[in-house]
Amino acid sequence: MDQKQKSWPTMAGYSLLLFLFLSQLWPKVNCQHTWQEAFKVLGIKWNRDGSLEREIQIPMVNATPFADPKHHTQVALSTDVQLSPTSGAYIRLYIPVNPPTDRKLPLIIYFHGGDFVLFSVSTVIFHEFCNNIAAQFPAVVASVEYRLAPENRLPEAYEDALNAIFWIRSQAQGAFGRDPWLDYADFSRVFLMGSSAGANIVYHAVIRALDFDLRPIRIQGILMNQPFFGGVQRTQSEIRLTEDAYVPLYVCDVLWSLALPPNVDRDHEFCNPLAGGSYLGRVPRLPRFFIKGDEGDPLVDRAIQLVQLLQSYGVPVVYQFNRGGHHGVELLNKTEAQYLYSAMRDFVLSTWATEDI
């Protein structure tokens, strides 16, 4: 082994070696495709240090803390706040360009999609999504930059999410001052929101948060759009849409192999909330849920199963399953995006104080 190889980061290098080893034992995924094909679809490849090179070209944008008089279509302002200098985690805060002065706004803690492996809060599609949430609800939005797999496998993203919730709690307590943007927030009306992998993170974050005293903040509801879950046993929607153009099943399998801890399968509780594990006993204590899925998404049956699980434990659930569509439809279709904003806004506005979690 040469000197460069000896300098590999321990976990990242182990991830690469483990993945290459497993690819020899299981060179095909989903019977017809190789993991190399999945990497090509995702626009990723291994670096020799065990990290991923992410080649997909989606624009990144900076925060916009000041209104631009030349930009008449600007609907929200944003600013970045560092959470951890060691992990790189930070929050991008959003407020409407003209926030109301006569009332406080609900606070949305948002987690972007990207299958645990891709993207950032500054990826333009998620930045604009949060701009629109802040403007249309209206709300204060805190979009969380979490660590990506495989360099940081689950549960690291869940830990980043929990730390973001703790930071919001410390801001509400105000013992060491408060970011002035959060003066617009009603800390008694906090919601967790996520799309795809972000929805998975939201679920596990709120489960973990149940073990802590979060006062004075109150998590009133959970909003999950097309949650990214899986399992060893295929669902009917996964079988029906195996070769889906947006999230083909063989790509999902590879993504889970990159994100999950080593030596576990897709029935691990991080991937499959129905498979048991340590979380089920906490489910009855969860707040109200909004869950949205689409008929054309291979993951839709997983969302339906989650609705059924929550309902079986007495958790209030508002759900919306649409005909047609596909995974990430709201990111490519403005009409679908507007439907989603409206449905989520209605859920937030209709959710009032219950009991602390």
Condensed to tens digits (0 to 9), the pLDDT of residues 333-342 reads: 999 999 999 9
* The pLDDT of residue 50: 82
Strand order in the sheet with 185-195: 76-82, 90-96, 140-145, 105-111, 185-195, 219-225, 288-294, 317-322
* The pLDDT of residue 352: 64
Q: Cβ distance 357 to 219 under 8 Å? A: yes
Residue 175 has pLDDT above 80, yes or no: no
Domains in the chain: ranges and CATH: 3-54 (no CATH), 76-350 (3.40.50.1820)
Integer CA distances (angstroms), 147 to 51, 114, 160, 216, 245, in order = 12, 12, 7, 27, 27
C-alpha to C-alpha distance for 172 and 183, rounded to whole angstroms: 9
Range scoring the smallest mean pLDDT among 33-42, 63-72, 213-222, 317-326: 63-72
Residue 8 has pLDDT above 90, yes or no: no
Confidence band for 22, pLDDT divided at 50, 70 and 90: very low
Q: Cβ distance 104 to 156 under 8 Å? A: no
Q: Cβ distance 111 to 202 under 8 Å? A: yes
Q: What is the mean pLDDT of the chain?
A: 90
**Tokens in use for 218?**
């109150």
| Mean pLDDT, rounded, for 174-193 | 95
| Mean pLDDT, rounded, for 229-255 | 97
C-alpha to C-alpha distance for 181 and 127, rounded to whole angstroms: 17
* The pLDDT of residue 71: 73
Range scoring the smallest mean pLDDT among 81-90, 137-146, 158-167, 261-270: 81-90
* The pLDDT of residue 189: 98
Confidence band for 1, pLDDT divided at 50, 70 and 90: very low
Integer CA distances (angstroms), 49 to 16, 42, 103, 111, in order = 8, 19, 51, 28
Q: Which residue has the higher pLDDT, 136 or 26?
A: 136
**Tokens in use for 59?**
């624009």
Three-state SS string across 295-324, please?
A: CCCCCHHHHHHHHHHHHHCCCCEEEEEECC
DSSP H stretches of helix in 54-155: 124-136
Residue 122 has pLDDT above 90, yes or no: yes
Confidence band for 83, pLDDT divided at 50, 70 and 90: confident
- Catalytic residue positions, numbered: 196, 297, 327
Instruction: Tell me the angle at which helices 249-259 and 35-42 cross, rounded to the nearest 10 degrees.
Output: 90
Could you tell me the end-to-end alpha-carbon distance of the chain, in angstroms, rounded to an integer? 52
| Phi, psi (degrees; rounded to nearest 5) at 28 | -110, 145
| Mean pLDDT, rounded, for 76-105 | 92
Contacts of 231 (CB under 8 A, 6+ apart): 266, 267, 271, 272, 274, 275, 302
Residue 10 has pLDDT above 80, yes or no: no
Find, among 136, 114, 132, the residue nearest to 123 by Cα: 114
123: helix, strand or coil:
strand
* The pLDDT of residue 355: 42
| Mean pLDDT, rounded, for 22-44 | 69
| Mean pLDDT, rounded, for 315-334 | 96
| Mean pLDDT, rounded, for 299-311 | 98
* The pLDDT of residue 31: 55
For 51, which DSSP code? P
DSSP H stretches of helix in the chain: 3-6, 10-25, 35-42, 124-136, 156-173, 197-209, 236-240, 249-259, 300-312, 329-332, 334-350
* The pLDDT of residue 23: 38
pTM: 0.89
Q: Cβ distance 135 to 78 under 8 Å? A: no
* The pLDDT of residue 58: 85
